[in-house]
Amino acid sequence: MGEHPLVQLARRTIEKYIREGLVLETPAEPTPEMKERAGVFVSLHRRGELRGCIGTFQPAAENVAKEIINNAIEAATRDPRFPPLTPAELADLEISVDVLGRPEPVASQAELDPKQYGCIVRAGARRGLLLPDLPGVETAGQQIASCKAKAGIPERDEVELYRFEVKRYH
């Protein structure tokens, strides 16, 4: 199938959970990437359409492997925009795994590049995140507007800006 081991882990997790209701164990022989600590997003697409995407800004589990397992189940069953996946949908599910780099503050949107960097906006306790290189997001302004909308921050409000890089695996 040619999928990266991180994507294979997400796929095995989703299949086991959807078919058997069981949570996959962390691999006995994890790859080096699986041993790191990082925020991880698991994105699911089916026939070119988004089917679920859940992730963590910063590490919430002891390693990337556990982060993938947790977020793969969440993306498949608890994304509020979609009903839980069904066994019939597993055959043509496309999965990508984004491992987030450490967010760094930026002074202005001029330091953002929606193709290269993801964006985080923060106003008080509210935070919104958008992954890089998403269809339809061509400018830093669009990226910031999407982040604000996701966080429920009014468009006119000032926000702290952060950027981060990701390693995207298919």
Look at residue 1 in the predicted model and tell me its pLDDT.
Answer: 55
Domain ranges of the chain: 5-100, 104-165
Average pLDDT over the chain reads 96
In the chain, at which residue ranges do the beta strands (DSSP E only) sit?
A: 40-46, 49-55, 93-100, 104-106, 118-123, 126-130, 160-164, 166-169
Give 2's pLDDT tier (boundaries 50, 70, 90): confident
pLDDT at 9 over 70: yes
pLDDT tens readout for residues 112-133: 999 999 999 999 999 999 999 9
pLDDT at 44 over 70: yes
pLDDT in tens, 158-167: 999 999 999 9
Q: Which residues pair with 152 in a beta bridge?
A: none
Dihedrals phi, psi of 162, to nearest 5 degrees: -135, 150
pLDDT tens digits along 48-70: 999 999 999 899 999 999 999 99
Secondary structure element (H or E) that encloses residue 78, with its range: none
Q: How far is Cα 25 from Cα 43, in angstroms, rounded to an integer?
A: 20
The CATH number that domain 5-100 falls under is: 3.30.700.20
Q: Mean pLDDT, to the nearest integer, of 108-115?
A: 96
Percent above pLDDT 70 for the chain: 99
Superfamily of domain 104-165: Hypothetical protein ph0010; domain 2 (3.30.1490.150)
User: How many Cβ atoms from other residues are within 10 Å of residue 129's Cβ?
Assistant: 22
Q: What is the mean pLDDT of residues 10-35?
A: 97
pTM: 0.93
Instruction: Give the whole-angstrom CA distance, residue 135 versus residue 121.
Output: 20
Domains 5-100 and 104-165 share a fold: no
